[in-house]
């Protein structure tokens, strides 16, 4: 049996999304064409847009379809910065948390190197919670220079849920727009774009059972947003390119299902995650849960401070890559952190920002659950994890001894 515990990286496609995708793949039509086939494709795209909007608490005109979460984040970071600078050249500061996904951090730093932006990294506490006092201080002293703020709704590595309402409230006092990467939140937490007060929000398809290469940026119509891609002027003129009709329909089907199933799934995954956490702690001495402690039993869902599907540990004396490969060979699939950084031999920037020692940060594993996860997956993990940790620690000690002898 293979236990798949890496749903935060990608999750299996939903049968309904596969059916929608394959049905549209058999049809011909460019949604920008004016003939019958084009109009049919356009109708499919607009129905998908309406379905996405209804599921996420947005207006259809606020849904800008993209080729995934990374593109949506880049459009938000670059588009909002340039849009704000065009209105007010003094708005040069980009405020982001130190634990943002690289799809936000990297374009932000690119803008600093190529477009005159100034980056402000908001600190987080040991659980990954953004320092609201630091944000308030930044806005009080430099609010008239801030182009926008970006705070991810829920962290992809340690699962920390951000206080989005508090961030928006602080930003509103200084007329600063706010973007949130909600890629991990959709389907695990209640997400309502209109109610959130956000100006822009990123969504991705393959995290909720949709196809890879699909996503959207929800952006208020009045938000100044400069295009990153130029061409035919599709998607309100801010995201040119031939519309992916099959992808849009499949993406919408997946998001709609994920949102409808969210309350029941969150409750089931919370119980499964809590069992996993308790058993890892009991079976592996020294294993440290990173991120917030799971909410107390019986607490309301609104009190959740970490994603229900996330369990992130560090194992002192171990290398995360060694743990990952040993588990993989035993039939358990997980990750050391963000899949987008896989293969990069460096500790997680998220853990370092949380104050975790670099050596300990190298021994990280993320176990993430999804709608296909069962108790058998947790059983499979615990059947092999203690032995894997012992082997990895022994290998680490051997390496350390060899280095000391040189």
What residues are annotated to the active site?
Answer: 340
12 DSSP 8-state letter: P
Helix (H) or strand (E) holding 17: helix 15-25
> Angle at Cα 83 formed by Cα 81 and Cα 86, nearest 5°?
105
What would the two tokens of residue 101 be?
A: 């996904």
**Residue 254 burial by Cβ neighbours in a 10 Å radius (0-12, 13-18, 19+):** buried
Question: Edge-to-edge, what's the strand order for the sheet holding 364-368?
Answer: 288-290, 310-314, 364-368
> Angle at Cα 369 formed by Cα 198 and Cα 48, nearest 5°?
45
Under 8 Å between Cβ of 320 and 345? no
Angle between helices 102-114 and 69-87 (to 10 degrees): 40
Give strand ranges (E) for 266-363.
288-290, 310-314, 332-333
Q: How far is 368 from 274, CA to CA, in rounded Å? A: 12
Q: At residue 399, what are phi and psi to the nearest 5 degrees?
A: -65, -45
Q: What 3-state DSSP class applies to 287?
A: coil
What would the two tokens of residue 256 be?
A: 């709609």
Under 8 Å between Cβ of 30 and 38? yes
Work out whether the CA dihedral 11, 164, 99, 358 comes out positive or negative.
Answer: negative
Those residues with Cβ within 8 angstroms of residue 45's Cβ, 6 or more apart along the chain or in another chain: 31, 65, 243, 245, 248, 249
């Amino acid at each position: 049996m293979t236990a798949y515990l890496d749903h935060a990286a990608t999750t299996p496609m939903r049968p309904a999304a596969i059916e929608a995708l394959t049905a549209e793949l058999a049809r011909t039509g460019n949604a920008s064409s004016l003939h019958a086939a084009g109009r049919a494709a356009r109708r499919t795209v607009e129905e998908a847009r309406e379905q996405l909007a209804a599921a996420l608490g947005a207006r259809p005109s606020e849904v800008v379809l993209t080729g995934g979460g990374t593109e949506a984040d880049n459009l938000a970071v670059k588009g909002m910065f340039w849009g704000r600078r065009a209105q007010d050249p003094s708005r040069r500061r980009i405020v982001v948390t130190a634990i943002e996904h690289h799809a936000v951090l990297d374009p932000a730093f690119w803008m600093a190197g190529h477009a005159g932006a100034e980056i402000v990294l908001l600190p987080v506490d040991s659980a990954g919670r953004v320092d609201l006092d630091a944000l308030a201080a930044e806005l009080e002293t430099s609010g008239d220079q801030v182009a926008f703020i970006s705070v991810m709704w829920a962290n992809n590595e340690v699962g920390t849920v951000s206080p989005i309402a508090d961030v928006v409230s602080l930003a509103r006092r200084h007329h600063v727009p706010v973007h949130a990467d909600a890629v991990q939140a959709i389907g695990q937490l209640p997400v309502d774009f209109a109610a959130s007060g956000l100006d822009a929000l990123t969504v991705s398809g393959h995290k909720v059972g949709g196809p890879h290469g699909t996503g959207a940026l929800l952006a208020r119509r009045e938000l100044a947003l400069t295009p990153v891609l130029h061409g035919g002027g599709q998607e309100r003129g801010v995201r040119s390119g031939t519309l992916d009709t099959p992808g849009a329909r499949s993406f919408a089907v997946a998001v709609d299902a994920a949102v409808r199933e969210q309350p029941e799934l969150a409750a089931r995954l919370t119980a499964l995650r809590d069992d996993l956490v308790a058993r890892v702690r009991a079976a592996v001495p020294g294993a440290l849960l990173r991120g917030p402690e799971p909410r107390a039993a019986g607490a309301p869902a609104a009190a959740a401070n970490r994603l229900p599907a996330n369990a992130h540990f560090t194992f002192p004396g171990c290398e995360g890559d060694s743990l990952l490969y040993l588990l993989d060979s035993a039939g358990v699939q997980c990750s050391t952190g963000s899949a987008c950084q896989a293969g990069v031999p460096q500790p997680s920037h998220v853990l370092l920002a949380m104050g975790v020692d670099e050596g300990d940060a190298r021994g990280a594993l993320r176990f993430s659950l999804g709608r296909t996860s069962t108790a058998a997956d947790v059983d499979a993990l615990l059947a092999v994890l203690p032995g894997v940790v012992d082997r990895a620690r022994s290998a680490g000690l051997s390496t350390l001894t060899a280095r000391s002898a040189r």
